[in-house]
Protein backbone atom coordinates (compact mmCIF):
# COMPACT_ATOMS: atom_id res chain seq x y z
CA UNK A 1 0.00 0.00 0.00
CA UNK A 2 1.33 3.41 -0.98
CA UNK A 3 0.75 6.38 1.32
CA UNK A 4 0.82 9.69 -0.49
CA UNK A 5 1.07 11.89 2.59
CA UNK A 6 4.21 13.39 4.00
CA UNK A 7 4.89 15.28 7.23
CA UNK A 8 3.51 18.79 7.00
CA UNK A 9 0.57 17.84 4.76
CA UNK A 10 -2.90 18.95 5.86
CA UNK A 11 -5.65 16.34 5.93
CA UNK A 12 -9.20 15.81 7.10
CA UNK A 13 -10.93 12.67 8.32
CA UNK A 14 -14.10 12.62 6.20
CA UNK A 15 -15.92 10.50 8.81
CA UNK A 16 -15.08 13.02 11.56
CA UNK A 17 -15.03 16.44 9.94
CA UNK A 18 -15.65 17.96 13.37
CA UNK A 19 -12.02 17.04 14.22
CA UNK A 20 -11.05 19.90 11.93
CA UNK A 21 -7.98 20.11 9.77
CA UNK A 22 -5.08 17.94 10.81
CA UNK A 23 -1.40 18.26 10.05
CA UNK A 24 0.59 15.09 9.40
CA UNK A 25 3.36 14.77 12.00
CA UNK A 26 4.96 11.45 11.08
CA UNK A 27 4.38 8.28 9.09
CA UNK A 28 5.54 4.84 10.20
CA UNK A 29 4.38 1.97 8.05
CA UNK A 30 0.62 2.37 7.61
CA UNK A 31 0.25 4.52 10.74
CA UNK A 32 0.02 8.27 10.23
CA UNK A 33 0.26 10.56 13.27
CA UNK A 34 -1.94 13.60 12.71
CA UNK A 35 -2.45 16.62 14.96
CA UNK A 36 -6.09 17.73 14.50
CA UNK A 37 -7.05 21.31 15.37
CA UNK A 38 -10.14 20.26 17.38
CA UNK A 39 -9.12 16.79 18.54
CA UNK A 40 -5.41 16.77 19.25
CA UNK A 41 -2.91 14.15 18.18
CA UNK A 42 -4.20 10.87 16.78
CA UNK A 43 -2.48 7.88 15.23
CA UNK A 44 -4.49 6.86 12.18
CA UNK A 45 -4.19 3.46 10.52
CA UNK A 46 -4.68 4.38 6.89
CA UNK A 47 -5.77 0.83 6.06
CA UNK A 48 -8.90 1.47 8.14
CA UNK A 49 -9.46 5.21 7.77
CA UNK A 50 -9.34 7.16 4.54
CA UNK A 51 -7.77 10.52 5.18
CA UNK A 52 -8.35 13.17 2.54
CA UNK A 53 -5.48 15.43 1.67
CA UNK A 54 -6.27 19.13 1.65
CA UNK A 55 -5.24 20.72 -1.63
CA UNK A 56 -3.54 24.06 -1.21
CA UNK A 57 -5.28 26.51 -3.55
CA UNK A 58 -2.43 29.04 -3.58
| pLDDT tens per residue across span 21-50 | 999 999 999 999 999 999 999 999 999 999
47 assigned to some structural domain: no
Confirm whether pTM is higher than 0.75: yes
Query: Which domain covers residue 16, as residue numbers?
Result: 1-42
For position 55, what pLDDT does the model report? Answer: 79
Written as one string, the DSSP assignment of 4-37 is ---TT-EEE-GGGGGG--EEEEEEETTEEEEEET
| pLDDT tens per residue across span 4-18 | 889 999 999 999 999
9 assigned to some structural domain: yes
Q: How many angstroms separate the CA atoms of 50 and 16, rounded?
A: 11
For residue 3, pLDDT beyond 80: no
Number of independent structural domains in the chain: 1
Amino acid sequence: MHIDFEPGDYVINPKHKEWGIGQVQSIIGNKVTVNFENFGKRVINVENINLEKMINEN
